[in-house]
Amino acid sequence: MRNPLSDRTVALKPSGIRKFFDVVSEMPDAISLGVGEPDFDTPWHIRDEGIYSLEKGKTFYTSNAGLMELRKEICNYLNRKYELRYEPKSQVLITVGGSEAIDMALRAMINPGDEVIIPQPSYVSYEPCAILANATPVILDLKAENEFRLTAKELEAAITDKTKVVILPFPNNPTGAIMEKEDLEAIAKVIIENDIYVLSDEIYAELTYTSKGHVSIASIPGMLERTILINGFSKAFAMTGWRLGYACGPTEIIAQMTKIHQFAIMCAPTTSQYAAIEALKNGDDDVAQMCESYNQRRRYLLNVFEKMGLPCFEPFGAFYVFPCIKEFGMTSDEFALKFLEEEKVAVVPGTAFGDSGEGFLRISYAYSMDELKEAIGRLERFVAKLREAK
């Protein structure tokens, strides 16, 4: 029989921590700091709107780009939060999570051989999506000494004549790094000079713990027309299971993305779209409350790491801290596996997010304070043991 498989798909590297998943799944009593989704339930009034829409029989497809009312609310929201101006009719596409938007954007913009710059450590899907879109991924290793921010110099060095798109994954999963206005202005200059586009994944935008809050690169002068902004409801409104995100950008790009979306997906889930309208209209207080809780836990973790003498830069975004474990002379994988075996706590090795994550761990604080304290107590014990053994 002929080989039924696509060579390109087979060649895609599977997620690096598969074996780790397997070990954890055989340890039902293990506790975890490995989860990349909110621990909060979706606020009740949002769930209630979803239920209400079902009761009213809103069970049909929506238009391909999504409910117009939702697109309008998204434009209002982006305007009030980040001073962005998008046209609901032609510049917004509702997608099945931010993930779909990443895929669609790359497929809409890439010609074979175009280079996509992917700063790492970062979320695992950019590279495979770029490859599936026929792009050549160019990995840019972010550095701990820059607090894992992207600098203009690093970006400039990675750009070639073939560069078409740079991915901007901030606030960042797994490092928690953010890009402040000045950082964005510096790279925007390079982007404009080199005539390239930005795919800005701002799914964690609401979870920014500086007084100024998140700044979108699309709000920097000259960048709106060069940016595909990706955001969604998963992290901000604790709606991961609803699978709802969106992309905003220049009309011509959104039109092509909508075309692919129409053929591949049809439309995002209708129930989720109705719930999301409620989230945007009346969800600000919920977001503020969740954000305050995350921030309290973030401060708690940073304080504990400082006491433990575990080096960790202060991350101002998402719900992750990214401590350095190089002093123990183990790889991230080895450390995480040993920690799991000895203390039954699952954390994610930094290398799951790119080679530049070596020597680091991703620790999620999407957990209650009680859970965090238990797990961190075990980490303290484990670290003390390792240091004693040295």
Partner 1 sequence: MREKILSIIEKNSRIGINELAVMLGEDELAVANEIAAMEEEGVICGYHTLIDWEKTNIETVSALIEVTVTLQRGQGFDNIAERIYQYPEVNSVYLISGGYDLLVNLEGKSLKEVSSFVSNKLSTLDSVLSTATHFVLKKYKDHGTILGKKRIDEREKFVL
Contact set for partner 1, span 11-50 (CB under 8 A): 15, 17, 20-21, 24-25, 30, 32, 34-37, 39
Q: What SS3 class is residue 360?
A: strand
- Burial group, residue 19, by CB count within 10 angstroms (0-12, 13-18, 19+): exposed
The smaller minimum CB distance to partner 1, of residues 58 and 344, is found at: 344
Q: How far is the CB of 385 from partner 1 (least distance, A)?
A: 23
Is the Cβ–Cβ distance between 202 and 167 less than 8 Å? no
Is the Cβ–Cβ distance between 261 and 93 less than 8 Å? yes
353 binds partner 1 (CB under 8 A): yes
Q: How far is the CB of 354 from partner 1 (least distance, A)?
A: 12
The smaller minimum CB distance to partner 1, of residues 30 and 152, is found at: 30
The smaller minimum CB distance to partner 1, of residues 124 and 383, is found at: 124
Q: How many residues bind partner 1 (CB under 8 A)?
A: 29
Report CA 323 to chain centroid distance, whole Å: 18
The smaller minimum CB distance to partner 1, of residues 33 and 138, is found at: 33
Helix (H) or strand (E) holding 120: strand 115-120
Task: Tell me the two tokens of residue 383.
Answer: 């670290």
Helices (H) and strands (E) in the chain, counts: 13, 12
The smaller minimum CB distance to partner 1, of residues 39 and 141, is found at: 39
Task: Tell me the two tokens of residue 337.
Answer: 């596996």
Instruction: Determine which residue in the list 44, 303, 374, 377 makes contact with partner 1, applying CB under 8 A.
Output: 303
123 binds partner 1 (CB under 8 A): yes
Q: How far is the CB of 211 from partner 1 (least distance, A)?
A: 11
Q: How far is the CB of 58 from partner 1 (least distance, A)?
A: 27
346 binds partner 1 (CB under 8 A): yes
160 binds partner 1 (CB under 8 A): no
Report CA 242 to chain centroid distance, whole Å: 16
CA distance 277 to 27: 40
Q: Output phi, psi for 139, to 5 deg.
A: -85, 130
Task: Tell me the two tokens of residue 326.
Answer: 């190089």
Instruction: Determine which residue in the list 252, 292, 341, 374 makes contact with partner 1, applying CB under 8 A.
Output: 292
- How many Cα atoms occupy the beta-carbon half-sphere of 380 within 13 Å? 13
The smaller minimum CB distance to partner 1, of residues 40 and 382, is found at: 40
Residues that bind partner 1 (CB under 8 A): 15, 17, 20-21, 24-25, 30, 32, 34-37, 39, 123-124, 173, 292, 295-297, 299-300, 303, 346, 348, 352-353, 369, 371
